[in-house]
Structure 1
Amino acid sequence: MEIKSKKSVKIAYWISTGLLALFILPGIFFMNSPMALEGTRHLLIPEWLRWEVGVGSFIGGLLLILPVWNRLREWAYVALGIVYVSAIIGHLWIDGWAAVTFQAIFIFLVLLVSYICWHKLNDRKLY
């Protein structure tokens, strides 16, 4: 029973982490697109923060899928969690309960699933 459970956790981990990578990694190529520029202006995000979050998210996405030290991966999860919680707050503050708010919530939940599965695969306690 334990082997089957471990296998399902591994499948859930790779599906959730793969979805995160598909969402996060290509974003660096669209940082200067008119839609991205308008979105950051709309949310009142300063130019320097747009670059910091864009490049940082790309690095964090890479750290989730590459074989790196556990401590580095843990910090990538923390940083991406902060980014998506901030996105949820920003969208709620400016737009209320719009579709983009639910997109940020969905990505945060996928990040949470990936994080919990990663801990289960490494037999680590969450607290």
Structure 2
Amino acid sequence: MKTTKIIYLISTGLVVLGMVASFFNYLFNPIMVQGYQHIGFPDWFRVELGIAKLLGALALAIPAVPARVKEWAYACFFVNFFSAILAHYFVGDALGNQIAPFVLLLILVTSYITREKLIKQQIGETKIS
């Protein structure tokens, strides 16, 4: 259980840090405006997505957030990362632009899987006690 918890904490921490950094990048980096124009997304979507990333990061980071909200955060991040891979692919961007969202997707899945394992282990320990 200790290894699983360490993997969960590291992977979740990386997702949270990445999404908080993404929030600041989306809202305050002028290069992101150009990036969204390049892909064909409207500028309001960049702002909306940045705010959503901050809210999702907070949902994953704060222990008191209900499990259902965390599930939604995981689901939305999955859709976001997968969509980013596709968006970069379909506009003909270099493979390098698709790697970052792919790596984040793998880290997110790792966080989710280890979280589920920890929950199942806690339920099993509760039944034994």
TM over 0.5: yes
Alignment-derived partner of residue 44 in structure 2: 48
Alignment-derived partner of residue 10 in structure 2: 15
TM-score, normalisation: structure 2: 0.86
- Does residue 108 of structure 2 align to residue 111 of structure 1? yes
Between structures 1 and 2, the one with greater helix share: 2
TM-score, normalisation: structure 1: 0.87
> What is the rounded CA distance, in whole Å, between the counterparts of 1:18 and 1:110 in structure 2?
10
Q: 1:77 to 1:35 in 2, by over 3 A?
A: same
Larger Rg: 2
> What is the rounded CA distance, in whole Å, between the counterparts of 2:92 and 2:14 in structure 1?
25
> What is the rounded CA distance, in whole Å, between the counterparts of 2:62 and 2:30 in structure 1?
31
Deviations 1:20-70 (A, max 9, x none): 111111222222312111111111111222122111111001111111111
The percent of aligned pairs where both chains have the same amino acid is: 34
Instruction: State the Cα distance separating 1:120 from its structure 2 match.
Output: 0.5
| Count of equivalent residues | 119
When the two chains are superposed, the root-mean-square deviation of aligned CA atoms in Å is: 1.4
Alignment-derived partner of residue 62 in structure 1: 58
Unaligned runs of 5+ in 1: 1-5
One-letter amino acid matched to 1:29: F
Unaligned runs of 5+ in 2: 122-129
